[in-house]
Amino acid sequence: MLRRFRYLISLSLLAFSLVALGSPVLSQAQSQLPYWTEAAPPTIARQELYPEVLNGKIYVAGGFLSQNPGFTDHFESYDPVKDAWTVLRPLPEARHHITLSAVNGLLYGVGGFTGGFPDWRAQPTMFIYDPTANTWTQGTDLPMARAEAISAVVDDKIYLIGGRVRATEDARLFNEHIDSVRNEVFDPTTKRWSARANAPTPRNSAASAVIDENIYVVGGRKFFKNADGTTRQVNVPNLEVYDPKLDRWETREPMPQAQGGLAATSLNGKLYVFGGEQWVLEQKVFAESWVYDPKTDVWEVLPPLPTPRHGLGASAVGNRIFVFGGGTQTGGNAATAIHEVLVLPTESPME
């Protein structure tokens, strides 16, 4: 069956071209259509980012550097009003693929890997950051160590879904982890984790966003071990929606193209996704960007990323989506500090 998605009018792509070329009619195009612009770069180049917005600022923790085994404890925030990054107290321990979630003025960093490839080991730890004091404290460990999962906050609770878990307790290599369907929720009030309905698809390197208190999980990939001992990572286009109130999953129209290691955010009731990479049938880094409307179950194409990237972060503040970091080559190479901003036509005040 043909997938149901439609393209934005050709003027949107024309507007993007005008931006790239510096056309004198740019101001008119910018006032009417989505366009990309640039913002201040983060203070270091890194990838495998899971950012979070708190009080109008974007926070980014840990990540993977280009030089193996260069994973980092670096922690910083971005102020969209000032267009400036601020280096903050680092994570208690270096991590990559660590998620961030904001609840009641605090940031919760959960899971992630330690080690440089192939010595990746999923961790169960939770670190809690207080922006007022600029301090980290230890939180409640996960029931099972996990990394490359997605996290989302609904009703002041943190949901951690999918990702990779250790195949055995002593697993210390990337290939000794398996994809998971685990869905667990953390209640900061009781400081306890509890199990919820498993996700339909086991996958890693997916992306997510919350719309109307439902969690949208999109893209990513599945890890396979072949009979001869080799491995492969196959992208999936699946879009699945979790309703925490009903503890129920629903399958929606998949992405027009399967992209793993992508970024996602939500704005004005729509899901926006950017970039990613694939390993089979050919290695490739994506510039393709999409927007999904839950009301119509339809995908539309956006102007592509000016710089194709995977392992990047995306956060929405006001009518702008900030897309930063990531790798410009497949794998743990070519980390960047590029910061590109998608400005949307719907004006809304800065949050």
Considering the segment(s) 5-343 as one domain, its CATH architecture is: 6 Propeller (2.120)
pLDDT of residue 346: 65
What is the C-alpha R_g of the chain?
A: 19
Residue 229: band (very low, low, confident or very high) from pLDDT cuts 50, 70, 90: confident
Give the pLDDT band (50/70/90) at residue 47: very high
3 state DSSP class of 314: strand
Q: Which two tokens stand for residue 205?
A: 């390197």
- Distances from the Cα of 172 to the Cαs of 65, 123, 165, 288, in angstroms? 20, 11, 11, 34
DSSP string, 188-212: TTTTEEEE-PPPSS--BS-EEEEET
For 43, 182, 211, 213, the CA distances from 270, given in Å and listed in that order, are 30, 25, 7, 13
Specify the range with the lowest mean pLDDT, choosing from 24-38, 74-88, 132-146, 311-325.
Answer: 24-38
Give residue 24's pLDDT.
36
33 confidence band (pLDDT: 50, 70, 90): confident
For the segment 145-162, what is each residue's pLDDT rounded down to a tens digit? 999 999 999 999 999 999
Residue keyed to tokens 């992208």: 235
Of 201, 198, 194, 185, nearest to 255 (Cα)?
201
**pLDDT class of 16 with cuts at 50, 70, 90:** very low
Q: How far is CA 270 from the centre of its chain?
A: 15
Q: Strand 320-324 relative to strand 313-317: parallel, antiparallel, unpaired?
A: antiparallel
The per-residue pLDDT for 210 is 98
Percent pLDDT > 70 in the chain is 89
Q: Which of 15-29, 76-90, 91-105, 140-154 has the lowest mean pLDDT?
A: 15-29
pLDDT at position 21: 37
Query: Partners of 277 in the beta sheet?
Result: 260, 285
Give the number of C-alpha atoms closer than 13 A to the C-alpha of residue 52, restricted to the C-beta side: 24
Match 């729509």 to its residue by tokens.
Answer: 270
Strands 298-301 and 5-7, how do they pair? parallel
pLDDT for 174 beyond 80: yes
**Could you report the per-residue pLDDT of 242-272, keeping only the tens digit for each?**
999 999 999 999 999 999 999 999 999 999 9
Nearest in space to 249 (alpha carbons), one of 203, 218, 215? 215
Q: Region 314-332: what's the mean pLDDT?
A: 96
- Residue 54 pLDDT exceeds 90: yes
For residue 351, the model assigns a pLDDT of 38
Tell me the domain boundaries of the chain: 5-343
Average pLDDT along the chain:
90
| Arithmetic mean of pLDDT, 36-64 | 97
Which tokens in the block code for residue 47? 């990838």
